[in-house]
Structure 1
């Protein structure tokens, strides 16, 4: 299975909806869930599915991502034909950067041609989900498809980031449109299906499209809408339904493309539910990542107050110390320090954040290595916060580097 499928993992996207978190990193490298990076979920799917020939197409501010791949994912054996290889634009035929997903594939045609695999799986490295790609490949073979598109059922149409799918009773796709446009409104409405950034091509079919579509002939923003949609009338393009009982991963049917700060915040907070929608604890489908060699997280009494450090319904990564402060319903990445009397509520603190004595954070996302001054209050006066920070539509305050974090005194 591994030798017959080449993975093209698209990780060049900045992620415009996450602009406050992608100023120094690509979307795929954004921290998630207390210790992971977003790309870890797609790579873990590849690993557990037995697909171990992975080309990671990088571009925008890729250093953080490449470092993470080196430190956390140097686990495959080249001697066995396994690899995870970052591929920035090679500019073999022009001096252009990747202009879109199809152009990124086009620029790496030579890597596809020289690989012996008969199939090419193109996946978005900026989404959070767990999926058995091996089962997708089996369905592709059984249906004799030339292209298989992973789809998920949604309660109502309207996503502005994914294409809406219409399929017949045999799961053959008969229409692909952007949810919300006029043609989408006329599509069958018995159920609502949307793409999820996972496309399996017969290699011969993909190479035919590279030959057919010259550079600049059509828009190149979305593989489903710009490349696959025109083919549904002439090629067997099949839908593969996400979350089937077939396959080895628990069918939790969770998928999120983190299209905004609010979506990112909600996806992280959902992990704190008593029964989270995304199961990170399935023992045979673990999510691998890089973890620094830090000491265990702990709580200690405050040096001044003598109060015990406390955390409630929170995730604490290695190296985190709560010194007489309190943490409630929050996610703390490695090496976070919460000082005496500080309170952190419903917040996400990235690696190395220090919360000063008596400071109070509420519904915040704090970028790595930022020090919150003593007695600062952030997340309580959104009008004041908007003058200094980015504040989302739902009132999440994002504290980034280069901004004053003095806060209002308690």
Structure 2
């Protein structure tokens, strides 16, 4: 049976742990896999699940996210589907920013009045996974839940970084703790599948994905002044509502840090990746770009998006984004190059050659780049060496940032000919 569902994608806050990728954009707007944005993941999961009534709540650095959604998700005039942006706004009820996930939903509830729905699906805009939400909704309805939380089994080490839930044999959540320490977590095991037991994944972590029955959500937001679902409303609901755990055993990662973002992207180049781009459709903006042109380049476990001009010597275990340009003799390994927002005049690039200042957008000739993220529109000259690794200390500089051994070249940064970073 098809259920009437409205989805709310939370746009996130400042995303400081993803700096400098979030210096000029919100977390959900960060490019991923060479051609998508993080927000495309939950929206695509909704559309693939048959749910096409979607609100995206935005606040911090929201211009590029708003533009992406406007240019990507346009339904037929005969469809009742929509992907609408709800921004934090000044009203007679208040003039402050959203102060948490629950606060954001509470203050935008008035926009749901004209939508026909029975269940509210609340999603994060900065996670990488594929899920059939219709199975989640079916589970919620069939088990008579007031609230259902999608959970994923994790091991004891990872559990210390999540909100951990304890569920009984009929999937009812009985208690909750936020980021327990390594000793405390030993008391928080739950019923999990045999496969998860064998992997030592005995603890149920909240994925930040919630289903609320319509009246329950309204009641909770009215009676509980808390600002955050995970820290305040959910623990309170466990005491008064029927709160269920829906165990998900597929691939899921929270894109919260530079390292997790880097690993998620480079992991896409595996022969059989955990996140399969070739399985369910991931929707995004339809760009009218030419095919990529590759001349004399050896490619190994590399994803190449549309509109690239690649003349490098070797690309290995890397993701190359739209409109990327790589010069002759260049070697790139374990790197995510986001590409460019526009093309420069190719004849001018060829004519000026080594004399163009600043260097053209892209990577020049005879460069070596490894363990790096190259943000949009950066200009890397010729004979540049960039090498990330555990030998590097964290730091923020004018053109780049180093986090967890990853060198992140900032958006629009210029790296001059012959520069060396991390070597």
Normalised-by-shorter TM-score class: 0.7 to 0.9
Aligned residues: 385
1:329 touches 1:347 (CA, 8 Å); kept in 2?
Answer: yes
1:359 touches 1:377 (CA, 8 Å); kept in 2?
Answer: yes
1:177 touches 1:184 (CA, 8 Å); kept in 2?
Answer: no
2:188 is aligned to 187
1:310 is aligned to 298
User: 1:208 and 2:207 equivalent?
Assistant: no
2:388 touches 2:407 (CA, 8 Å); kept in 1?
Answer: no
1:117 is aligned to 117
2:388 touches 2:406 (CA, 8 Å); kept in 1?
Answer: no
The root-mean-square deviation of aligned C-alpha atoms, in Å, is 2.3
1:235–1:204 distance in 2 versus 1, CA, 3 Å: same
User: 1:295 and 2:290 equivalent?
Assistant: yes
Q: Distance in 1 between matches of 2:241 and 2:393?
A: 56
Deviation track 1:214-268 (CA, whole Å, cap 9, x = no partner) reads 3xxx4x34x123111112122110011114xxxxxxxxx1101111101111111
The match for 1:224 among 221, 227, 230 is 230
2:189 touches 2:204 (CA, 8 Å); kept in 1?
Answer: no
Deviation track 1:270-302 (CA, whole Å, cap 9, x = no partner) reads 1111111111112xx2111114211111212xx
Q: TM-score, normalised by structure 2?
A: 0.85
Q: Distance in 2 between matches of 1:71 and 1:368?
A: 18
Q: TM-score, normalised by structure 1?
A: 0.88
User: 1:362 and 2:370 equivalent?
Assistant: yes
Unaligned runs of 5+ in 2: 192-201, 341-360
Deviation track 1:311-351 (CA, whole Å, cap 9, x = no partner) reads 22201111111124321111100111110111111111112
How far the C-alpha of 1:155 sits from its partner, in A, is: 2.5
2:402 is aligned to 391
1:86 is aligned to 85
1:378 touches 1:385 (CA, 8 Å); kept in 2?
Answer: no
- Secondary structure of the residue aligned to 1:20 is coil
Unaligned runs of 5+ in 1: 244-252, 301-307
Alignment of 1:47-66 (within 5 A): 47-66=47-66
Q: Distance in 2 between matches of 1:375 and 1:187?
A: 54
2:346 is aligned to none
1:159–1:258 distance in 2 versus 1, CA, 3 Å: farther
1:29 is aligned to 29
Deviation track 1:36-94 (CA, whole Å, cap 9, x = no partner) reads 111111011100111111010011111111111122221x3454321100110133311
2:333 is aligned to 345
1:53–1:254 distance in 2 versus 1, CA, 3 Å: same
Q: Distance in 2 between matches of 1:171 and 1:384?
A: 44
